[in-house]
């Protein structure tokens, strides 16, 4: 039984020591430390990770169309000829403004002339007559379109249409504008599906500020099909790597200008954000702008040793680990410095980063050593197991 107890204690201690050493070594290997100039040159920006609403979306292509109810034609009630035109294609016309004059064919000296006005305000989109052209009541002279609100028509797969209801939102990008995304609201679906492509028109209404949108413009849609609450996510610009190995750069909580390459497990991705299933904690700061450049920064412009020395006020090994007592004495002797009883006269904070990894400090600095705290806990658990087996053995012997 004693042999079993000693074996259990040894196994637990060894496994824990290897695990902590491996985790710390991985942290050091994945840490990039820059100086202030390096951060500025890479234009590093970070955002805090937080939980919030996450939108599941689908991508689609489409076009801008005018609303049928916002198009009006101007025609004459009498026969005659055009004697004046006050509007040309592209002109913005107010409702009730004069757009043309028609001279009647009725006898008179001079013949009667009537004025034609715009039935609604908008842009002259079509002109079908010239000065002097004959006019018939059944023929439209020009067309006026109100572009204050337009339609954005997306071609969506039929199985996606089944998940959408009127009122659904879409983030719409029109390449001709170059100034961000617009928000549209689903009005209805088209009356007929396209059997060849398996799609159907999803028709969104879209405010047209500045009347810059025009029919026929190409549009890209990110249509929201579901929304979930309390989801941890990061901006898409923070996500790096291949689909099989995604990672982000997390700002170190302790070291200035230090960033840790952190593997993450990713869930859903939309056009703005990526859902993080594991790998990050709320309040972690991830790099958004400059994340791609960090991958090529190598070991950074400052060594991890230099950064830790500056942050903690004492010497560290070249790999960033703590120096043991004898190593510190040798380092101090080599530099002509002396230490009195190992007391440096400064405080050490735990070196935590976003994943809860801890930078171990020697007991001689007057801090609790997390490694030995964990080892003590494991040993205590091992003793409980041994006691249980002893009690069980005694019961069997009786």
pLDDT tens digits, 177-228: 877 789 999 999 999 999 999 999 999 999 998 889 999 999 999 999 988 9
The C-alpha angle with vertex 23 and arms to 20 and 25, in degrees rounded to 5, equals 105
pLDDT at residue 1, rounded to an integer = 52
pLDDT band of 375, cuts 50, 70, 90: low
> Residue 216: what are its φ and ψ, rounded to 5°?
95, -10
Q: Is 230 exposed, middle or buried (0-12, 13-18, 19+ CB in 10 A)?
A: exposed
Q: Would the pLDDT of 324 be above 80?
A: no
% of the chain at pLDDT higher than 70:
69
- Give the residue-averaged pLDDT of 95-99: 95
- Rg, C-alpha atoms of the chain: 37
Average pLDDT of the chain?
Answer: 79
Q: Is the pLDDT of residue 360 over 60?
A: no
Q: What is the pLDDT averaged over residues 146-157?
A: 95
pLDDT band of residue 287 (cuts 50, 70, 90) is very high
Confidence of residue 271 (pLDDT cuts 50, 70, 90): confident
- Predicted confidence at residue 330, as pLDDT, reads 56
Q: Are 265 and 276 in contact (CB under 8 A)?
A: yes
Output the pLDDT for position 278.
94
Per-domain residue ranges of the chain: 1-46+290-338+350-398, 58-66+148-229, 68-145
Is residue 4 over pLDDT 70? no
Cβ neighbours of residue 293 closer than 8 Å, sequence gap 6 or more: 42
Tell me what pLDDT residue 101 has.
Answer: 95
**Would you place residue 176 in the very low, low, confident or very high pLDDT band (cuts 50, 70, 90)?**
confident
Mean pLDDT in residue range 54-61? 91
Low-confidence winner among 98-107, 190-199, 305-314, 351-360 (lowest mean pLDDT): 351-360
Is a pLDDT exceeding 70 seen at residue 350?
Answer: no
pLDDT over threshold 80, residue 284: yes
Pairwise CA distance, residues 318 & 337, whole Å:
19
- Tell me if residue 272 falls in helix, strand or coil: coil
pLDDT value of position 247? 95
Rounded CA-CA distance 96/113 in Å is 17
pLDDT of residue 113: 94
CATH code of the domain made up of 68-145: 2.40.50.100
- pLDDT at residue 255 is higher than 70: yes
The pLDDT of residue 340 is above 60: no
Q: What's the pLDDT band for 25 if we cut at 50, 70, 90?
A: low
Helix (H) or strand (E) segment spanning residue 63: strand 50-66
Say what the pLDDT of residue 107 is: 83
Using pLDDT thresholds of 50, 70 and 90, give the confidence band for residue 5.
low
What's the mean pLDDT in 293-311?
59
Fold of the CATH domain 58-66+148-229: Elongation Factor Tu (Ef-tu); domain 3 (2.40.30)
Angstrom distance (rounded) from CA 294 to CA 165: 43
């Amino acid at each position: 039984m004693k042999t079993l107890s000693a074996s259990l204690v040894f196994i637990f201690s060894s496994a824990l020591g290897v695990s902590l050493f491996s985790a710390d070594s991985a942290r050091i290997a994945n840490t990039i430390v820059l100086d202030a100039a390096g951060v500025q040159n890479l234009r590093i920006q970070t955002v805090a990770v937080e939980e919030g609403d996450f939108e599941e979306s689908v991508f689609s292509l489409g076009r801008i169309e005018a609303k049928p109810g916002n198009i009006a034609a101007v025609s004459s009630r009498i026969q005659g000829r055009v004697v004046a035109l006050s509007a040309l294609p592209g002109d913005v016309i107010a409702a009730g403004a004069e757009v043309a004059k028609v001279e009647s064919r009725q006898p008179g000296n001079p013949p009667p002339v009537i004025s034609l006005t715009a039935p609604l305000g908008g842009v002259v989109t079509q002109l079908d007559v010239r000065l002097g052209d004959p006019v018939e009541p059944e023929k439209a002279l020009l067309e006026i379109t109100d572009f204050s609100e337009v339609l954005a028509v997306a071609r969506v797969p039929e199985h996606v249409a089944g998940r959408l209801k009127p009122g659904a939102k879409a983030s719409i990008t029109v390449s001709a504008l170059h100034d961000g995304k617009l928000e549209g609201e689903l009005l209805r679906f088209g009356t007929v599906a396209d059997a060849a492509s398996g799609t159907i028109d999803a028709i969104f209404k879209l405010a047209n500020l500045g009347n810059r949108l025009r029919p026929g413009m190409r549009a890209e849609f990110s249509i929201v099909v579901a929304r979930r609450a309390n989801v941890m996510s990061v901006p898409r610009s923070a996500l790096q790597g291949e689909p099989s190995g995604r990672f982000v750069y997390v700002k170190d909580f302790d070291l200035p200008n230090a960033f840790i390459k952190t593997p993450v497990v990713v869930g859903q991705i939309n056009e703005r954000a990526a859902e993080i299933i594991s790998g990050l904690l709320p309040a972690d700061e991830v790099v958004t702008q400059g994340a791609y450049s960090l991958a090529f920064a190598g070991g950074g412009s400052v060594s991890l040793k230099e950064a830790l020395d500056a942050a903690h006020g004492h010497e560290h090994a070249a790999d960033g680990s703590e120096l043991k007592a004898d190593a510190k004495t040798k380092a101090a002797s080599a530099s002509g410095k002396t230490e009195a009883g190992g007391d440096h006269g400064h405080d050490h904070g735990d070196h935590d980063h976003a994943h809860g990894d801890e930078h171990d400090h020697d007991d001689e600095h007057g801090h609790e050593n997390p490694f030995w705290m964990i080892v003590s806990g494991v040993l205590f658990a091992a003793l409980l197991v041994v006691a249980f087996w002893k009690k069980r053995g005694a019961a069997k012997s009786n």
